[in-house]
Structure formats: C-alpha cells, structure tokens
Structure 1
Amino acid sequence: MSCIASSRGLSARTCNSAPRSSGRARRAVLAPCRASLGQPESLDEESPKPQSTAEAITRSLTELSGSSGRVSLGSNLLLCAKGEEEWRRLSKKVYGDKFPIQRSFTAVGTGGQDFKQAMVAAVESVVGYVHTECVAEKHSSARKYISVTVGPVWVENGDQIVAIYQKMKDDTRARYLI
C-alpha cells in the first residue's frame, strides 16, 4: 500500500454509548485522485502548486469535499510510503499536542469475520479492550470485501497510531487502511 487516507472527523460519542446508526455512510476517496478530471489545472496565487504527493492528495480531498458541499469537521491526514518520519511531521501539524484523542480506524479487506477479528485484535493489542459497539462492519455488494471500522478509541500519542496501522498493514488480506 503506497498511501493511506484518513480524515480526522472525530465523534464525541464514547464507546459505551449507543451503536452507530447506519443512516449516514462515510465515503473515502483513494488514490489516484485527479481534481481536474483530465483538464489542465489553472495555477494562480490562491492555489500554489503542491510540493509533494501527500500535499497534492490532501489538496484534492479538500477541493472535492468543498465542491460536493460537504462541511469538513476535521483535517485530512495521509500515511504515505515515505515512512514514519513523514507521517510524524504531518501528524504534528494536524494534531499538535492534542493527545489523548479519540480516533477511529477503518480497514477494507477480504476474509469476512476472520478479517474483522484480526483488525479488532490489531487495535486491542495497542490500546486495550474495545467494546463490541465500537466495531462496525459493512460488506461490499458482492460480499467479496468487508469494511471494518474500530472506534472511536482513545489514543494516547502518535506512536500508538503508527503501531495500530502497522499491525493492520501486516495482515495480507488488508487492501486499504483509512
């Protein structure tokens, strides 16, 4: 996996409250992203050319959200193939010293209930027990893929976020981590 997209739209709900309603689905835009849809993008002073792939994807996500009328409740954050150092720089920029925070982790993969249990175990191995109402799943229409969301859970620091994503990434059935 070369890039992992994540949105920091955090819920104020605690894990022991009522389960999530399935009425409002979250959508993720995964690479490749093209804001211009094949047309040359005009460069002006208001939108400087991004300096890295991460900045380009972040800008595309922001523009796409704005054009669809979505009001962002957080910041877009990317975990890229450049490694942990780049992620830590971006994390510090987005989160600063705002830890502990509530954070959800989503993985899309194959394997059904075994995959779901593996993703829950990956989060639990770092932050401890996760209540069952903090785990949501959604199957693709053909039931080939399953999306598992674990959280929100309390994360004490950026190292825990990195550790959770690393454990999730170690499962070969995982296709996308969001």
Structure 2
Amino acid sequence: MRITVTVDGTTYTDEVEPRQLLVYYLRETLGKTGTVVGCDTSNCGACTIHLDGHSVKSCSVLAVQADGAEVTTIEGLARDGELHPVQRAFHDNHALQCGFCTPGMIMQTLDLLADDPDPDEHAVRHGLEGNLCRCTGYQNIVRAVRDAADRMRPGAGPAAERLADDSRQMVGGE
C-alpha cells in the first residue's frame, strides 16, 4: 500500500506492506533509528513517538494507519543544533544509564508536560508509567522531567521558549 506521512517536518511517500509496524517503517525505511524497538508488545515504551501531536507506542501502530499523519521522532526535537529543553534536562540530570529507554521517555515527557506543565513527583511517575527503564531507579528521570518543566516555562530564555512553543504545537497545545 502507498502511504504519505510527514516525519519530523519532511513528507515521505512509500510503498509499505499492510502489516508493517510504524516502528519498522521509521527505522528501516526512513532511517529514524532513535525510535528503538524494545519489546514489540507495547509494554516498554521505548518506541514512543508523537502521532498527530500525541504520544503513541509505534510498535502498536501499523504504518498504513499513519497515512496522512504528522509524526515526530526523537530526531525531530532538536532545532538548529540545539537540544530541546527536555533532551537537555535529561542530559544535565543524568536521567539515563544505557540510554535505550531515553528516546521514548523524552517523547512521553513532552506529552506529559503538555497536559501538566508543572507536575509533582507523583504526576511524573504516573505520566511515565507506560515507559520502562531497566537501569535506573527513576529518581534522575523524575528530576529531569521536573527540570524540563522549569526550562519550558515562559521567561526561561528565548531559545528555550522557542523550543517549548514548538513542543506545544507538536502536541496540539496553544
């Protein structure tokens, strides 16, 4: 089947097998290897991307279901060589060990912060509960999400505000 999908701002038209999962289309056809394959069962969240502004586990979506959609992957977050505030917060707070879950955690964090721009620890843990990390105790991940919320607030600086505005637009806010 022929699909047309916009991924990270670029439109692609490709032939895909009707049963091909979106995660494999992104990785194998488009080379978006930041979207990782974790469990193939939608349990771990490592493959989380944004589909039309909302986080989804791309191993649970067929590529044909994305026809006509807007997809954002971890590769689409940085702008002009500058990390997105969520990416920067994860880096600065050492919110990763092996890094395997990090792209999915970051993409889910964007959705979480769009719904709750100032989450407390409980809200962060609840908002990320569909994304598993096998290496950390989650403390640094929680710290990074709360730091990202601070960085994305108005007054955080022009670059952070521009990237935060881009994020809100990606997830259907403002």
Structure showing greater relative contact order (alpha-carbon pairs closer than 8 Å, 6 or more residues apart)? 1
* Common topology (TM > 0.5): no
The structure that has the greater radius of gyration is: 1
So what's the TM-score if we normalise by structure 1? 0.25
User: Could you say which structure has the higher strand fraction?
Assistant: 1
